[in-house]
Structure formats: C-alpha cells, structure tokens
Chain A
Amino acid sequence: SAVISQKPSRDICQRGTSLTIQCQVDSQVTMMFWYRQQPGQSLTLIATANQGSEATYESGFVIDKFPISRPNLTFSTLTVSNMSPEDSSIYLCSAADPWGHEQFFGPGTRLTVL
C-alpha cells in the first residue's frame, strides 16, 4: 500500500489569499487525485493530477480556482486560490495502486478560511 503525506496538516487563512497543499507518496504512482470534504459531508473529487499534462477537473471545479501541479510520479500540489469561507474544508490527496485499483489517502489538510 502507498503511504501518503500532506503538508500542512491544518491552516487558518484570511479570505482573498491562496494556500498551496503538498502531497508526497512514498512510491511512484501513475494516478493521483485531490478530494474535498466539506464539514459533515462526504468526499468529492476535485481533479485527477496527471503527470506531465494538465489536471482533469470534475464538474464544478476549475483550474483558476484549484490549480494543480504534478511534476513527477511521487509528488503533487493543490492550490486553493482567492479563498472564501466556503472553501473551509478538509482537502485530501489520494493515489491508486500500480494496477489502478485500490486507492489510498493522505491524512488530509484541514483548512479554515476567516
């Protein structure tokens, strides 16, 4: 199984600012994903982070708001831009096993926007 770490683990930010979340996997993986979990809700996929090409965003999420980088097979970043209180959520990084079957999750980044 993949071991995934995220930084920061939590942050409190002012509205209008941006925060970049880092995700590191302990092995090379083909598929990496970013999810959002709003308070009391389930997980929603933001985008698939593709190595060497632009991320694939789900309906309702746009690159200008959530730019993603994937410079190599073990690392990705998600930026939450021009934040508002509605962006207060847990953001989770995920990676699939080498066969693209089972997915594993990082510990999450708990973001509060004031």
Chain B
Amino acid sequence: GIQVEQSPPDLILQEGANSTLRCNFSDSVNNLQWFHQNPWGQLINLFYIPSGTKQNGRLSATTVATERYSLLYISSSQTTDSGVYFCALKGNTPLVFGKGTRLSVIA
C-alpha cells in the first residue's frame, strides 16, 4: 500500500515565525489532503490538493505529484495553529494517513 512519511515529527515555533511541513509518498495518488487536528481532537480540512498550489490565508500548500511530495507552509504562526498536522493520501483505497507533525506555537 501507499507509504506516507511526514517531517519533521515535532516542531516548536515562536509566535510569528514561518514553517514548512513536508509529506513524502511512495506511489501515485488520486487525492492528497492536509488536516489540522486541534487540541480537542477535531480534524479540520485544510487543503484538498492532489497537485498544484493553493492558498488560504496564512496557509498554503504545494503538491508535486510527479516527485511524490507535498509541502504545507504556515506563515506568521499563531498559538491557535498548535496541534497535529496530518497529510493523507488516497490511491485505490480510502485515505491513508501519515504519522503527523506535532506543532507547538509558543507566545
């Protein structure tokens, strides 16, 4: 099945800093999504991005499907950005999740 690797596993940022989270995958995919799981456990859809670049406020994402990676950019981080960021991919199966990047933004 599809292998999904996320890096870094943990990240601590000062409020206002920028960061880049990476997702590498092993096979061609039909769907790639980024999620934010907040401290209360809710999974929030950030991007549906099987290819190309999208932006939503301070967040943007780029997927280069031919090179099998995706990047999530967080600019001017805020304490409310804390939580776990998951990359998830769909090939011929339902979504398969990476292990996540745990982000802590400190004031």
A67 at the interface (CB under 8 A from B): no
- Given A42-B86, A42-B99, A42-B100, A103 and B94 contact (CB-CB distance below 8 Å): yes
**Among A1, A31, A33, A37, which residue has its beta carbon within 8 angstroms of that of B45?**
A1
Q: Which of B33, B43, B86 is in CB contact (< 8 Å) with A102? A: B33
Contact of B94 among A41, A45, A90 (CB under 8 A): A45
Q: How many residues of A contact B (CB 8 A)?
A: 22
User: A41 vs B45: C-alpha distance in the bound complex, in angstroms?
Assistant: 18
Residue on A nearest B30 in the bound complex, by CB:
A101
Binary CB contact string for chain A from 80 to 114 against chain B (1 if under 8 A, 0 otherwise):
00000000001010101000011111011010000
Interface size, B (range): 20 to 34
B96 contacts A108, C-beta separation under 8 Å? no
Contact with A along B78-107 (1 / 0, CB 8 A): 000000001010100111111110000000
A61 CB to nearest B CB, Å:
13
Q: What B residues does A110 contact at CB under 8 A?
A: 41
Interface mask (B11-36 → A, CB under 8 Å = 1, otherwise 0): 00000000000000000001101010
Known interface pairs A90-B41, A110-B41. Does A42 touch B98 (Cβ–Cβ under 8 Å)?
yes
Instruction: List the interface of chain A (C-beta within 8 A of B).
Output: 1, 31, 33, 37, 41-45, 48, 90, 92, 94, 96, 101-105, 107-108, 110
- 16 additional A-B residue pairs with CB within 8 Å, beyond A42-B99, A92-B43, A103-B90: A42-B86, A42-B97, A43-B43, A45-B93, A45-B94, A90-B41, A94-B95, A96-B94, A101-B30, A102-B45, A102-B48, A103-B94, A105-B43, A105-B45, A107-B41, A108-B42
- Which residues of B pack against A, CB within 8 Å? 30-31, 33, 35, 41-43, 45, 48, 86, 88, 90, 93-100
Interface CB pairs A-B, < 8 A, 5: A42-B86, A45-B93, A102-B33, A105-B35, A105-B45
